[in-house]
Structure 1
Amino acid sequence: MKRLGVLSVFLLAAALATGGAPSYHPPTQAIAFYGPLLGGGTMSFSDYLGKTPVILNFWASWGSPSGQEAELLEEVYRDYAGKLLVVGVNVQDPEENARAFVAEHKISYPMVLDGTADVAWIYRVKYLPTTFFISASGKIIAIHRGPLSKSQLNHYLKLLLETQVSGDN
């Protein structure tokens, strides 16, 4: 048992000396997931992959100005209905907090509850909010960490729609 402890210390020291833990690498392709929706029912993200561009927004009610961002995403959801999908992923919030936030900001786009942060983990989300812009083929064309301003969202939206038109998915 003492040998195991010494070996563990040695391995930890070696890892730290060589740069420590593996670096953060977000996915380059969208990853299918399945989760409960705030309004009831479930979402299977694989139902949308390969069919429509998606804006996937990870957030929490306690995060930085998620309210303004959520309202901007709601505008996009309404304005581009049928052309792209907006999906919110609420990370580790009590359901009643998420529900109050959605009601306060009049959000109607699908909201996945990620109480265990499993979906956030597979996407390697380190900060909230984080937004992924995903082409219809499932390629992640942009990742934005932090709250989105209207001009930033418009920039990413333009990239997303250009990708769809060019067929360079």
Structure 2
Amino acid sequence: MRKIALIAFLLASIGVQAAEDTRGAKIYQLLEAQGIQATFDEQMRLREEHSKRSVQIMIDETVKRLKPNASFKKKFNQAAEELFASLQPPWTTDEVTTIWANIYGNKFSDEELDQLVAFYTSPVARKETVAGRASLMEFSQYLANQYEPYQRRAIQQYAEKMQSLGKECRCKK
């Protein structure tokens, strides 16, 4: 009797695992059709570019205010490179996609996943996905370009404030 129960349990476990594998495959098929991983790749690339620009603006302002010699300018640049490296996220696009798949996929039944896959693999949905990604990239670039003057001004004001505080402080060097 125990053997029969054990065999039934194992078969049920295998069936559950197979269903989960099929469900997972459906979720990834849907994400692929939606262009999610490509979108995450692009977002991470844009975030990296933004971080790089931000750090460069900070170092430019620092060098402009302090007017260091070549040796210290090199040290400031090295510090900026270290800051940029430390701003990089600890996860990959694949890891982000897996997290998204788990969160997003749990919102739909298997039947709904089938319907979504059918829709997103249709010609009109493929066109929408391509247009949506292209529009999102264009929109993100537009916002980044519009934001840059505000960012530069804020960093410049910060640098001026730090310089003023440094004079007030009469901090030891």
State the TM-score bracket (shorter-chain normalisation): under 0.3
TM-score of the pair, normalised by structure 1? 0.26
Relative CO higher for 1 or 2, CA cutoff 8 Å, sep ≥ 6? 2
Greater strand proportion: 1
TM-score of the pair, normalised by structure 2? 0.25
